[in-house]
Amino acid sequence: SRDQKEKVYIQHKLQADGAMLAEMLLRRKGHFYLCGPTWPVPDVQAALVAAFVQHGGVANEAAAEEILEEMKEEGRYVLEVY
């Protein structure tokens, strides 16, 4: 994000790839790992929730957040942050 005029962070990339994320994580039961500092976690989670609702056929944000919790329990949504 430092080598360009406008800052681009992981949550921006996730928003741009929302349809693919919904396909991979919901339909294909993929895994998502986030490693690094804690500061992007809320924005990353919001981007995933939006992708599930907008592209994955999930009814609303609450249902999408439940899916993320289920993914955590299954070991498919892993946060290794500090």
Return the ∠ at Cα 21 (arms to 15 and 22), rounded to 5°: 105
Please tell me the pTM assigned to this model. Answer: 0.91
Strands 77-81 and 32-36: parallel
Residue ranges of alpha helices (H) inside 1-82 are: 10-16, 18-22, 41-55, 61-74
Mean pLDDT, the chain, rounded, equals 95
CB distance 22 to 52 below 8 Å = yes
Query: What are the tens digits of pLDDT across the range 19-53?
Result: 999 999 999 999 999 999 999 999 999 999 999 99
